[in-house]
Amino acid sequence: MKFVAAALLAVAASWMLAGSAAGQAAGVKVVVNGVDVPLAVPAVVFNGQVMAPIAGLFEPMGAIAAFYETDRSIVVTNRVRTTVVFWLNETAALVNGQPRSLPVAPALLGSQVFVPVQATFALLGAWARFDETDRAVFVNSQITGITPQVSAGALQVAVDATGPMQVETNVISNPDRLVVDFINATLRTQERLYAVSDAGVDRIRTAQFQVKPYVSRMVFDLNQPVEVSITTAPTSYLVTLQVRPKGSAPWQAPEGASKGSPLGRSANPVKVTGVSFQPDGQAGRITVDSTGSMDYKIREFMFPDRLAIDVQNAVFIPVKREISVDGTSVVAVRAAQFTARPPVTRIVVTLKRKLNYIINQSAGRLTIDLSTNTAARGHLVAIDPGHGGEDPGAVGPSGLREADVVLDIALRVRDLLAHDGIRVLMIRDSDTTVDLADRPRVARESGSTIYVSIHANASPRAAVNGTETFFLTPQSLVLAQMIQDELGVVLGIPSRGIKTANFVVLRDNDIPSVLVETAFISHADDELRLRDQAFRQHVAEAVHHGIVRFLAIYPVPQQAP
C-alpha cells in the first residue's frame, strides 16, 4: 500500500507542478449532481480509478466527509444515515459497520486526503462513471423507488432516491400530459408503467430521458387539467408529487403529519408485509418490508433495555410476529399492530444490553443494523448545559427559562450515556454560574474527547422555530451532522440543518465540539414543547444517539485517560 501511495503521489505531483493551461487541460473533472466540484487540487487517475481530494467533494450529493488523524480514518455520512469509514493506505471499508472493499486505497498527498471517487460514491448509493472523452467523473443520485397512491381524489407519488434531486415540471398539450423531470438523476426502478385511472391521470410512464446530463422523466397522461405540488423531506431524499384535478380542494395531510414528510404524502396506510432478523456476531440486522416508503420514529426504553421502531400510518399484515433470538445481546424481536387509529406498526427489540443502531431505508424496506459500542466506553463526553446561575439565557413568551430547560435535557443525556457505560463530564449539573471561558477549559483539562453544548434558541421573529446544530472545525462536522440527523427524525419540528459559528465553546476546543439548539424558546409552540417532559426526553434520546453513532466511528485519542 505504501507503493500505491508513493506512485499516486508522483502522478499528482507531476500534475500539480505543471501549473499551466496544458496541465489544467490534462486534469480530470468531478461533476456531482450537475455541479462541477471546485477541487482543492487536481484529481488524478490511478489504476483506472479517479482519485480526488475530499474537501467539498460530497456536499452536492447531500453528504459530508471528515479526516481523523488519530487513526488516519476518513468518514463520509449522509442525511439518510449511511456512514462509510475507510483508512489511509487501506482498501478495507465499512458501510454502516458492514465490510466492503475499495479498488484503490485512499492516500494522503501533501495536505490533501485523496479517495477513489467512483467507488466511494457507489458505497453511498450513487451512480458514478468515468467518461474518458470528457475527462470527467459524472456522479448522480439514483431513483430507487416510485410509489403512486390515490387518496381523497388526489394522486401522491413518492419518489425515493439515494441523493438530492432537482425537479422541473411542464404541461404539454395534444395529448395532454404532465411532464416531471428529475435533473441529474439515474432511474434504477424495474417498473416503468403505472396504471392510475383517477385524479385526472390515466397512467404514469417513466424512462431515462437523457444522458449528459442525466434526466429521469416521469410522464402523467391526463384526462383533465391538473395541478401539481412538490414537497421534499428534510431528513431523507424523498420527493413527493401531489397531482389533483385543477380547482379541486387541496389535499390535507392526516393529523400528525407534516407537509413533505413520508407520512404526509398519503392518507392510505402503507402495508408492512414482513419483519425478519439476521444474527451477526453479538448483534444483527432487522429487516422490515412493506408496500411503500415508511415514516418511522425510534424510542429507547430501559429496565429491560428495548428498542421500539414505530412505523407510522402502517398496517401490519402478518398481524403478529415473534422471533426468539436469545443471543449474546439480543433477546427477541416482536412486531404487531400497536394502534389502529392512527395505524401504527411497532417492532420491539428486547436487549440484554444497550446497542448502537443505524437505520437505512430503500424502496419498501427498512434495515436496522445493531452493533455493540464497547469502543465508545473509552471516551469522556463533556456535556455543557448553556447559561445557568446568574445567566438565565433566553426566556420564552410565558416565562420559561432556557437555563432550566437545557439543564434538564443535559441530565437526561448524561443518564442515557451512563447507562451505556460511557463516562460523562457535566460542565454544570445544577443552576450555577460557569464563566464562558471556563467551559471549554474544564473539558480540556479533564481529558474530554468530545464536547456537546446544549441550548434553546431565540429569535426576534416570533414565527421562527425548529432545531439546528452548530460546529466550527472539520473534525466536528460529522458529530454535528449525526446529532442533527437524529433531532430531525425524532422531534417533528423543522430541521434547520447544521451551520458554522465562531462560538467561544467551539473555537476554544481542540476536540470534536458542537452546540445544539434544541428548539426556539421564543416560539410559542416550541416553548410549549420544551415545557413537556416527553419532548425533553425525545430531545435527550436524539442527542444521545447522535453521540453514540459518532463514538462508534471516532477513535479514542491516545492521550485520553
Structure-block grid coordinates of residue 164: 438530492
Separation between Cα atoms, residue 327 and residue 372, nearest integer Å: 13
How many C-beta neighbours within 10 Å does residue 264 have? 22
Cα–Cα separations (whole angstroms), residue 453 to 310, 317, 423, 434, 456? 29, 44, 16, 13, 10
- DSSP-assigned states of every residue in 21-45: HHHHHHSBEEEETTEE---SS-BEE
Extended beta strands in 33-116, E state: 35-36, 44-46, 49-53, 63-68, 73-78, 83-87, 92-95, 98-101, 107-109, 112-116
β-bridge partners, 146? 159
Rounded CA-CA distance 270/315 in Å is 6
Residues pairing with 32 in the sheet: 35, 139
Q: Check 468, 517, 527, 541 and give the catalytic one.
A: 517
- Is residue 149 within 8 A of residue 155, CB to CB? The reply is yes
Nearest-10 crossing angle of helices 533-553, 402-419: 50
Residue 326, judged by CB atoms within 10 A of its CB (0-12, 13-18, 19+), counts as exposed
Instruction: Pick the closest to residue 315 from 335, 334, 298 (CA basis).
Output: 335
Got the DSSP string for 391-430? B---B-TT--BHHHHHHHHHHHHHHHHHHTT-EEEES-SS
Beta strands in 281-432 (DSSP E): 283-290, 295-301, 306-312, 314-316, 320-324, 330-339, 344-351, 356-362, 365-371, 380-385, 423-426
Is 517 catalytic? The answer is: yes
Report helix angle 533-553 to 474-490, nearest 10: 140
Beta-ladder partners of 366: 288, 361
Indicate which residues carry an active-site annotation. Answer: 517
